[in-house]
Amino acid sequence: MNSETQQTYIRRRQNRFRTAPIDGQALKYLIYAGLSWLRTNQETVNALNVYPVPDGDTGINMVLTMQAAYDEIADSPEQNFGNMINAVAHGALMGARGNSGVILSQIWRGLARGLDGIEVLDGPNLV
């Protein structure tokens, strides 16, 4: 591979992994996509629930928690990522169901605290 071909290859690889920054509205779409995935796979997640009590409700509780998080932002026109993720965390906490829901809400809380004040999420802000 000659030097020019190698440089072209490197540029293509670098561009392949570039992503657009995520604003509040993009986060809303991602929350909805995650909620949809959980709904689709709810029974699979329920089947994973064997400890501490095998009551088979982990998937249900996670869906209900994420539904509450999404409901908190569904009608929001917010563009600011930090404001939107704080609203997601609040909705998840208020709607948390069961241990898995509380754990999930605390994951959102941690992300919201770490990303508070961020207008858009990009690689440097995430790191």
Give tens-digit pLDDT for 90-124: 999 999 999 999 999 999 999 999 999 999 999 88
The number of domains in the chain is: 1
Phi then psi dihedrals of residue 24, to 5 deg: -60, -40
pLDDT at position 15, please? 64
| 10 within some domain | no
Q: What is the pLDDT of residues 53-63, one digit of tens each?
A: 788 899 999 99
For the chain, the average pLDDT equals 91
**Res 5: pLDDT:** 72
User: Which structural domain, as residue segments, surrounds residue 91?
Assistant: 21-126
pLDDT, tens digit, 9 for 90 and up, residues 5-48: 777 766 776 666 667 899 999 999 999 999 999 999 999 999 98
**Mean per-residue pLDDT, 60-88:** 98
Is residue 14, in this structure, part of any structural domain at all? Answer: no
Q: Tell whether 95 is covered by a domain.
A: yes
- 11 assigned to some structural domain: no
pLDDT confidence of residue 94: 99
Q: CA dist 109 to 45, 52, 79, 114, Å? A: 22, 24, 19, 9
